[in-house]
Structure 1
Amino acid sequence: MTGTDGPLVLGPLLRYVDDTSAAVWVETRVPASVSVTRGDGTATARTFAVHGHHYALVELTDLAPGSSETYTVDVDGEQVWPEPGSPFPAPVIATLEPGRPLRMAFGSCRTSVSHDEAGNSTHGVDALRAWALRMADQVAPADPDDPDLAPQLPDLLLFLGDQVYADETTDEMRAFIESRRDIEQPPWTELQDYEEYAHLYSLAWSDPANRWLLSTVPSSMIFDDHDIRDDWNTSLEWRREMEATSWWHGRIVAGLASYWVYQHLGNLSPAARADDEIWQHVVAHAGDDEYDLGEVVDAFADRVDQKPETYRWSHVRDFDTQARLVVVDSRAARDLHPESRAMLDPDEAAWLDEQLRGDVDHLLVGTSLPFLLARGLHHLEAFSEALADGAWGERGSRAGERLRQTVDLEHWGAFQRSFQDVSRQTMEVAAGERGRAPSTVTFLSGDVHHSYVSEARPARHRRPLQSTILQAVCSPIRNPLSRNMRFATAVLSYGVAGPVGRLASRSTKVPDSPLTWHYAEGPWFDNNLACLQVRGRSLRMWWVTGEVVDDHARPRLAKVATYELDEQGNPPPRERVATKVRKRIRGR
């Protein structure tokens, strides 16, 4: 039913799910009516079209909190999911239950190559797929006594950027591009238009194990640079260079339009979806014919690229009083003008300020770019921004611009205005000045192709905090760094790099950071996926990876690292953590 001639092209993806509603997204081969049946209830939606592709988002309502039931998908009355003879369990829609411990997984950076020996030798084992197989109970656990490796489905899977790579394409994607146009002409083997984005998403989400997982675990997503192009919105100069090319306009319009269709629409709650300006076009369409959204979504993408303040990609949701998850757009919402340069434009910054509140057990902030990098890297980024802004004159400014574009120095540290503001807001939350202080303020991030946990505290005056401030990074899911890049990252993460970077940033009069931080776990460079569970004030995180034992197509799930806070929200003793870190460094 989902083969090359079947009515279902891609999906179903289970997207936003709360205690009483769920949204199921699909791509179909032709205009159709799509129905989702769960228990004795059925919901139906007509497809809408974008550039010859057909999509439906089916909204189920009035579900019972804490319930879990299997579901089926029909296209024009023909059941297409689950597929007959599927080796995977029947897909389920499990609603949230107030008070039940929240469990989620997160990660970023995943390329789509084969899962055989050839693919694993160049890109490593796909950690998402290894986890999917374990969740489906297809392979034996690495340790049958380890509950972290048990097949327990989470409440949410959070993708923190680089779901697809529009600029670093695989052989299979390049073959598709070459079948359409001359790859010796711009943009060469990078993506050009919506059709190529649609094919790229198909490659990313069509593996049977991952497809089953996405059909049964709710997902939330935010973009990062490679969803569009490496270094996207690094600086005003970078943007002007791109806009001067013959191909950038087509890329950014196709990238943002396809992102709204494939990723963003499913992030929205029923209320937010009803208010969404693009979704309103779909809902308002009357009649049995399919609505063509192509021109509308293209015009929208063109506008929000030029005027990012006119639309918000960031989103937030509360899991009763257990946790608030704030997912921040740290790419499209940037203000790149040197006199007002910021990670978030004024409207977006004000929105984030409103969301950073207590009165929950855990405040989780999802941002594709780590808020707290290794301190050496952080200071180097702050130095590069000051240099590019003219701290050492015009010649230094040119050098600073070259440096930040060449070495990808465009994280929060390279946007000091925003870093300083969010640091202060975070400490206010942790001090109980914005409602009851949560047990943790935890930043969840990806992007940097290594993973770690950092603990932060006030840098000055020893301001008393009631919350533990954490940075947890999971990257990559499947796109490991080369050995040389691993070594360079490690050098910038330890030893003299931190003090040297701090001296460099001080030489350009960068303000001192309100926070100081240190590694509590890591870094490690495996392909991995992170899991998180909160129960009251306690928090537990663990990272898993796939290991080939006998069969490349059926890797075994193994644990990489663990970090936890006790029932009082206290972190582990620092001495024990430091010993673990030293062992990890020597082990590499």
Structure 2
Amino acid sequence: MQTATPLPIGPILFLDTIAEGQLRLAALFLTPRGEEPAPVLVAGEEVRAQRLAHFDAATAWRVRFALPADRASSYRWDGQDYEVAGDVGGDLRLAYVSCNGEEVGDMEREGSERNAMWARLREEHRKSPFALLLHGGDQVYADEVTQGHELSHDWPEKVPRDPSQAALADLRHHLRERFLGRYAALYAAPEVAWVMARVPSLMQWDDHDICDGWGSLRRSRTYSPVGQTLFSAAREAFLIFQQAATEGDLPLRFADREGHHLGWSVAAPELRILAPDLRSERTRRQVMGSGGWAMMETEAARDMAGHRLLLSSVPLLGPRLSILEALMVAVPRMQKYEDDLRDQWQSRAHRDEWRRMLRLVRNLARRDGHDITAVSGEIHLATRAVMDLGDGLRLNQLVASGIAHRAPPRGWARFLHALAWLGEDPLPENPIRVERIPGQRLRYVAERNYLLLERSGGAWHARWDLEASGMTEPLSLG
């Protein structure tokens, strides 16, 4: 299959890890099949590409190299210099994005409308560069990749029981090519490409990177041969296009080098970024499996100075969604939305696990003596919440969603604002409050947005760039 997006594409820059005073980086390239991209030039030395994967008409390549982690620098490719902010040890800026697409018709959207907030992010970087770009899930909306093949066209409503191995192999080929098409279109967009060639990205996945509601669908769907083929193809695409990696060759920041779960962490001076995987081991009854929890328990025992930033693809704190979940189950017309609510930590199905995670976060904060910031996407709104952790400590939950997904109706934001009045305290000794973003009347803001996280003089602040309302005033994170 020929991708509709012109090739080559790249460089797309990823952070492998930070070690020995260096940013260990990987640059992703997509070329016409078999055509090797030009080498990357770093400090006068050429670094050639390594092939990651072949597709029908394209090849994915990776170039790994290092730049200083204490100052700005650059690399050169195909006659052009790319400046990288680099310094992660002093004052710095991070950007956070999520929900980069829509469920239906995303590839047909007009580019300047779709990527308007990416254009704003690009201008922010030009004014004051970002050291890292954090992606909190749903980097692509792959829900339509199943269409056009007889085994998956009616997914997930109808799933063949016993397809042949030849049919499954043909399905996998179909899915791989369509995942390629999604990622190629995303990375070719000029607003996205400019930023991602200059700011190293760190990504975690959520359901739409696989399919809508993955892990919250019925086991008869996700564990079927078609479901497992879909997950396998999505996982391969996630590794190639969101990590510049392949099976058995994960960057050092991943907790499980075998890849049974895809959680990772990165340490910089006075900062640790922790991103558990909330999809690989997810079922209708659990958010994380043994691997994910082992990673989190290891983190809870780790001594660390400075600020912890926890990426939770679905928000850790929010309103009492269990009421809405019960209502949807009871009303037949609303049952199609049950999977969306089961995706949340607040779901009745995950309540014990939610408490476990909140206790772990509380223990992390008390061990370090620092507040913790959780950053999430997923809900297509901007909001924030605070949990009192005791001992003068707090968990700040910041939600920025989405950068490309159009906002839901304002009535939904008003409904959630009202629902937040009821409160939700899974740990009664640690109350939760859903708070307003600076300058906003409601607790939930129905505008496209992204988030800035800034450290200045050792103090952390957050600001949202809201599509209609503009940049908010800084919010202190302690």
CA RMSD, aligned part only? Answer: 3.8
Query: Residues 133 and 209 of structure 1 are in contact (CA less than 8 Å); yes or no, is this contact kept in structure 2?
Result: no
How many residues are paired up? 441
Match of 1:167 among 116, 135, 143: 143
1:334 is aligned to: 282
Match of 1:56 among 61, 69, 90: 61
| Amino acid in structure 2 at the alignment position of 1:523 | Y
What aligned pairs does 1:120-131 form with structure 2 within 5 A after superposition? 120=113, 126-131=116-121
1:491 is aligned to: 415
Q: Which has the higher helix share?
A: 1
2:391 is aligned to: 464
Match of 1:411 among 336, 344, 348: 344
2:43 is aligned to: 39
Alpha-carbon distance in 2 for matches of 1:511, 1:532: 28
* Residues 221 and 130 (structure 1), Cα distance of their counterparts in 2 relative to 1, 3 Å cut: same
Query: Residues 13 and 197 of structure 2 are in contact (CA less than 8 Å); yes or no, is this contact kept in structure 1?
Result: yes
Shift of 1:344: 1.1
1:555 is aligned to: none
Alpha-carbon distance in 2 for matches of 1:469, 1:185: 43
Asked if 1:22 is matched to 2:49, the reply is no
Asked if 1:525 is matched to 2:446, the reply is yes
TM-score, normalising length: structure 2: 0.80
1:87 is aligned to: none
2:212 aligned counterpart, secondary structure = coil
Match of 1:104 among 94, 98, 105: 94
Q: Structure 1: where are the runs of 5+ without partners? A: 74-78, 83-89, 137-150, 278-309, 389-395, 548-557, 570-588
Query: Residues 12 and 187 of structure 2 are in contact (CA less than 8 Å); yes or no, is this contact kept in structure 1?
Result: no
Alpha-carbon distance in 1 for matches of 2:8, 2:417: 44
What aligned pairs does 1:507-522 form with structure 2 within 5 A after superposition? 514-521=430-437, 522=443
Shift of 1:327: 0.8
| Amino acid in structure 2 at the alignment position of 1:516 | I
* Residues 47 and 424 (structure 1), Cα distance of their counterparts in 2 relative to 1, 3 Å cut: same
What aligned pairs does 1:56-95 form with structure 2 within 5 A after superposition? 56-61=61-66, 63-73=67-77, 79=78, 82=80, 90-95=81-86
1:225 is aligned to: 207
Shift of 1:429: 2.5
CA deviation vs aligned residue, 1:444-468 (integer Å, no higher than 9, x gap)? 000001011211115xxxx423x33
Shift of 1:39: 3.1
2:197 aligned counterpart, secondary structure = helix
TM-score, normalising length: structure 1: 0.66
CA deviation vs aligned residue, 1:61-91 (integer Å, no higher than 9, x gap)? 4x44424333222xxxxx3x64xxxxxxx42
| Amino acid in structure 1 at the alignment position of 2:73 | E
1:312 aligned counterpart, secondary structure = coil
* Residues 269 and 34 (structure 1), Cα distance of their counterparts in 2 relative to 1, 3 Å cut: farther
Segment drifting more, 200-209 vs 14-23: 14-23
* Residues 97 and 164 (structure 1), Cα distance of their counterparts in 2 relative to 1, 3 Å cut: closer
Asked if 1:240 is matched to 2:220, the reply is yes
Asked if 1:209 is matched to 2:191, the reply is yes
Shift of 1:241: 3.2
| Amino acid in structure 1 at the alignment position of 2:97 | G
1:543 is aligned to: 464
1:437 is aligned to: 369
Match of 1:311 among 253, 256, 260: 260
Alpha-carbon distance in 1 for matches of 2:473, 2:226: 45
| Amino acid in structure 2 at the alignment position of 1:480 | R
Higher gyration radius (CA): 1
Q: Structure 2: where are the runs of 5+ without partners? A: 157-170, 438-442
| Amino acid in structure 1 at the alignment position of 2:54 | V
Shift of 1:194: 0.3
* Residues 158 and 274 (structure 1), Cα distance of their counterparts in 2 relative to 1, 3 Å cut: closer
2:369 aligned counterpart, secondary structure = coil
1:553 is aligned to: none
| Amino acid in structure 2 at the alignment position of 1:49 | A
2:273 aligned counterpart, secondary structure = strand
Query: Residues 220 and 266 of structure 1 are in contact (CA less than 8 Å); yes or no, is this contact kept in structure 2?
Result: no
